[in-house]
């Protein structure tokens, strides 16, 4: 007899639980995975192993909550086609830049030319918008706005936009230990928990523009040498509504979890500087919505509906894999409501997370089928 959903207990899967020594940060953030910080992603090696186990014949995978694009990038590396959906415009821009196929010669020309002109003092800062005045020192604001004014001159403007966003993130008036969700601008020197000394807020952005332009070039070139020419499709929209065509051989996803992260807010500087469309009211499980009973019920409704829609696109008997730290035990019911049968639950020991939330942490890989 098949086990019931309740009888599926999580088993620790040692092969999915890498230690820091097995898998150092350098590997977890290899090539394009570190084009821009993103809080709440899964690691490429996990996705790689899930593909190896569950989609051994290759094919096409869907990630309805694609985030920074780990599933898509890994699909290209592992030789699969992939479709990713995300409600956050910045995440979609980041995924586009990571997965596009470049003419490396013209990419290098654009990035180096933009940097040279920027360092010569070209570009116009114009008047700083309110957010920029508030969150950046005067010189940093001028430098970022000047770089922004150059970006549109290039075919690879989107790559330069990611460089701009990353430089802005580093140049904000924040403490070093609160880069994820800073509350108020830090204008004075402060005691830094991270470096255990007094640190000063950043005054300039130019060195970040230089560092990240060159780093982005290296990362995109490195990825170009390991990727396949498989097809990636990125859809900016609500996974409850986007029209997806065709059939898939697997769904691999890590949905947002209620009350943890505001996915638009974590890249607020990018929305402000790049004028991106903000659809935060459509985010499922946003931290801002809280964890009241009503919020959890709305979350479960939304995730169940997305998983049901995704499962309907799966070829017969293909797997739907959900990576989640389900500490509220919401998922057995969510899967059931999505018409899915939970057939396995692998627990993995997440060795280390980045940022101040560091610590012991487990997450599960739920294996379900329609
Ligand atoms: C846990 S993250 C996924 C991270 C991804 N696995 C990675 O490695 O980068 C969840 C994502 O779901 C997105 N999201 C939230 N609500 C959504 C919705 N209604 N439709 C599509 N995406 C949504 C968020 O913007 C966020 O990027």
| Overall residue count recorded for the chain in this entry | 370
Record the tokens describing residue 172, joined without a space: 């904000």
Rounded distance between C-alpha atoms, residue 42 and residue 49, angstroms: 12
Provide the residue-wise pLDDT of the chain in tens; the chain has 370 residues. 444 554 567 778 888 888 888 898 899 999 999 999 999 999 999 999 999 999 999 999 999 999 999 999 999 999 999 999 999 999 999 999 999 999 999 999 999 999 999 999 999 999 999 999 999 999 999 999 999 999 999 999 999 999 999 999 999 999 988 888 888 999 999 999 888 999 999 999 999 999 999 999 999 999 999 999 999 999 999 999 999 989 999 999 999 999 999 999 999 999 999 999 999 999 999 999 999 999 999 999 999 999 999 999 999 999 999 999 999 999 999 999 999 999 999 999 886 544 444 556 789 999 999 9
Q: What is the DSSP string of 138-159?
A: HHHHHHHHHHHHHHTTSTTHHH
Nearest ligand 1 atom to alpha carbon 283:
16
188-194 long-range contacts (CB < 8 A, ≥24 apart) are: 193/356
The alpha carbon of 167 and the centre of ligand 1 are apart by a number of angstroms equal to 23
- Residue 86 CB less than 6 A away from ligand 1: yes
Report CA(24)–ligand 1 centroid distance (Å).
25
Count of CB atoms within 10 A of residue 356's CB? Answer: 12
Q: Give the other-Cβ count within 10 Å of 2's Cβ.
A: 7
Q: Vertex 320, ends 45 and 223: CA angle to 5°?
A: 30
pLDDT, position 352: 53
57, 315 in Cβ contact below 8 A? no
Cα gap 246→313, rounded to integer Å: 7
Contact status, residue 113 vs residue 154, Cβ threshold 8 Å = yes
Report the candidate in 44, 102, 39 with the shortest Cα–Cα distance to residue 74. Answer: 44
Looking at residue 1, its pLDDT comes to 43
Return the closest-CA partner of residue 80 out of 222, 252, 221: 252
**88 Cα nearest atom in ligand 1:** 25
Ligand 1 atom 13: residue of nearest CA: 65
Which ligand 1 atom is nearest residue 282's CA?
A: 19
Can you name the residues that pair with 15 across neighbouring β-strands? none
Distance of CA 43 from the midpoint of ligand 1 (Å): 15
How far apart (Å, rounded) are the C-alpha atoms in residues 283 and 119?
Answer: 39
Atom number of ligand 1 nearest to Cα 42? 8
Tokens representing residue 280 in the block: 């935060």
Q: Kindly report the pTM of this predicted structure.
A: 0.95
Strand partners, 342: 368
Whether 62 is in the pocket of ligand 1, judged by its Cβ within 6 Å, is no
**CA gap 30, 41 in Å, rounded:** 14
């Amino acid at each position: 007899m098949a086990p019931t959903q309740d009888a599926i207990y999580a088993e620790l899967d040692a092969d999915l639980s890498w230690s820091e020594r097995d898998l150092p940060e350098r590997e977890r953030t290899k090539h394009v995975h570190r084009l821009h910080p993103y809080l709440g992603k899964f690691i490429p090696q996990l996705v790689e192993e899930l593909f190896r186990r569950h989609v051994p014949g290759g094919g096409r995978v869907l990630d309805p909550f694609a985030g920074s694009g780990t599933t898509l990038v890994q699909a290209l590396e592992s030789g699969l086609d992939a479709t990713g959906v995300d409600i956050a415009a910045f995440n979609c821009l980041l995924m586009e830049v990571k997965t596009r196929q470049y003419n490396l010669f013209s990419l290098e020309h654009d990035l180096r030319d933009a940097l040279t002109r920027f360092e010569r003092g070209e570009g116009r800062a114009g008047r700083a918008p309110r957010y920029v005045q508030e969150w950046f020192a005067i010189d940093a604001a001028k430098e970022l706005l000047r770089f922004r004014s150059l970006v549109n001159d290039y075919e690879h403007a989107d790559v330069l936009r990611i460089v701009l966003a990353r430089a802005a993130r580093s140049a904000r008036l924040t403490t070093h230990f609160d880069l994820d969700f800073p509350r108020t601008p830090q204008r004075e020197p402060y005691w830094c928990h991270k470096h255990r000394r007094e640190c000063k807020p950043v005054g300039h952005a130019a060195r970040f523009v230089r560092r990240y332009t060159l780093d982005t070039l290296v990362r995109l070139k490195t990825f170009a040498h390991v990727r396949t020419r498989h097809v990636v499709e990125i859809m900016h929209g609500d996974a409850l509504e986007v029209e997806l065509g065709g059939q898939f051989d697997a769904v691999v996803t890590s949905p947002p979890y209620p009350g943890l992260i505001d996915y638009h807010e974590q890249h607020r500087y990018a929305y402000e500087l790049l004028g991106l469309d903000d659809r935060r009211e459509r985010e499922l499980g946003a931290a801002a919505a809280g964890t009241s009973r009503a919020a959890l019920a709305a979350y479960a409704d939304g995730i169940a509906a997305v998983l049901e829609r995704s499962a309907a696109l799966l070829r017969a008997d293909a797997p739907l894999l959900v990576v989640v730290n389900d500490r509220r035990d919401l998922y057995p019911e969510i899967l059931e409501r999505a018409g899915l049968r939970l057939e396995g639950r692998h627990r993995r020991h997440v060795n280390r997370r980045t940022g101040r939330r560091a610590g012991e942490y487990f997450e599960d890989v739920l294996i379900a089928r329609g």
